[in-house]
Amino acid sequence: MAKLARDRDVNCHSAFVYSDEITKYRFRDDHPFNQMRVILTYELLKHSNALDEENIIPPRLASEEELHLAHNKAYINAVKKASIGELSEDDGLEYGIGTEDTPMFENMHEAASLLVGGTLTAVDSVMQGNVKHALNLGGGLHHGFQRKASGFCIYNDGAVAIQYLRKHYDVKVLYIDTDAHHGDGVQWAFYDDPNVCTLSIHETGRYLFPGTGNVNERGIKEGYGYSFNVPIDAFTEDESFQQVYDSAFREVVEYFQPDVIISQNGADAHVHDPLTHLCTTMSTFELIPQLAHELAHQYCDGKWIALGGGGYDIWRVVPRAWAQIWKVMSTSTPFYGELPEQWLSKWNEKSPVQLPTHWNDPTGMYKPIPRKPEITEKNEKALEKALQFIRLKYNSGQSL
């Protein structure tokens, strides 16, 4: 794996989009999507003396006009009806609302609009030159479609943000998604657009929702060659994940030459995540933002908007993984050593599991994976197939 550059801006002016209002995006008490994880991350950063009030900007509500950039009017109206209990069960199912994954809840339109508005707040902060980077951990809802909710996602803030960037700033956007689930909603929204490049590194759909994200999903029409997927095998560990991530990200960004990078940072590739089958540790979640930070400076004059995403071990995994994004974004280096005692003492009594005491994970935290060589080889082949278009194009010196 290539060595990360360490000599870029030591301190980058960055924005942290936050309000405790984001916890209103809550389907029900026993639903795995729990925005309490953002509050846990926020408090971990505060107790680590890594987040100042001057860095924090509140999200705004996205307007209906902005939502229309990625969703049609009938769907938005259905969400608004569901918000006030006036959408029938049959009508809801037509739009993916009221399912086990995406139940109806009071004021869901407003709650979802705030998450989208938070991402647009981050976009404007970066593109207007107020900051180099911005982080909205309430965003990253990559499964939402033009007229349908899916996979815990009502409105797709990433898709809205990319359309917003195209409309208001006329820039080329690279969207990279390291959630364990394929970033299907964002991919399909820009599948024919040569000005938007999507790269998703995810657990293979053979075992996991949404079942898409194959290497042969490369785009259509003018967008052919601007959609990249690297489906990795179940039980993939740090070394293989990081090799795939480093190689794919570097080659795609060099090929596409973006003006701005949006990263979706689901934390569900961790071995503790209850909904997926990957076996990475905090080592991977230290690397992910470091490479994004490096490449944003190398190719985009630092323009980088980072979003949250999946992540369902909200106590042991997500706060540490997401806090690392902010630490790298604002100082260029990750956290090391012990977690702050004040944070541990406050949340250990509320956590259903024992909280970790260090930023890194201990060695030997899971049993050795017997198929490791086979898994690594399969991932290398998936990577080779995913990048075949780029490599053939460069080797031939011609357009394909």
Q: What is the pLDDT of residues 357-389, one digit of tens each?
A: 999 999 999 999 999 999 999 999 999 999 999
In total, the chain counts a number of residues equal to: 400
Q: What band does 227 get if pLDDT is binned at 50, 70 and 90?
A: very high
Residue 42 has pLDDT above 90, yes or no: yes
Q: What band does 4 get if pLDDT is binned at 50, 70 and 90?
A: low
Q: Which is the CATH superfamily of the domain at 14-66+106-396?
A: Histone deacetylase domain (3.40.800.20)
Cα distance between residue 249 and residue 218, in whole Å: 16
Contact 184, 212 (CB under 8 A): yes
The pLDDT tens digits for 111-124 are: 999 999 999 999 99
> DSSP alpha helices (H): ranges in the chain?
36-47, 64-67, 73-83, 89-94, 108-127, 157-169, 184-189, 238-256, 282-300, 318-331, 341-348, 372-386, 388-396
Q: Which run of H or E residues covers position 134?
A: strand 133-136
Contact 329, 12 (CB under 8 A): yes
Q: Which run of H or E residues covers position 247?
A: helix 238-256
Burial 251-271 (b: 16+ CB within 10 A, else e): bbbebbebbbbbbbbbbbbbb
In whole angstroms, how far apart are CA 361 and each of 24, 164, 201, 282?
31, 38, 22, 6
> What average pLDDT does this structure show over 91-108?
97
The pLDDT tens digits for 150-208 are: 999 999 999 999 999 999 999 999 999 999 999 999 999 999 999 999 999 999 999 89
Can you give the pLDDT at residue 8?
46
For the chain, the domains span: 14-66+106-396
Residue 5 has pLDDT above 80, yes or no: no
Cα distance between residue 2 and residue 373, in whole Å: 21
Cα distance between residue 339 and residue 343, in whole Å: 8
Catalytic site residue 143?
yes
Residue 3 has pLDDT above 60, yes or no: no
- 304-307 and 133-136: which strand pairing? parallel
Can you give the pLDDT at residue 397?
60
Q: Considering 71, 133, 143, 202, which one is annotated as catalytic?
A: 143
pTM of the model: 0.96
Helix count (H) and strand count (E) of the chain?
A: 13, 8
Average of per-residue pLDDT values in the chain: 96
User: What is the residue whose two structure tokens read 């990475």?
Assistant: 280
> What average pLDDT does this structure show over 292-308?
99
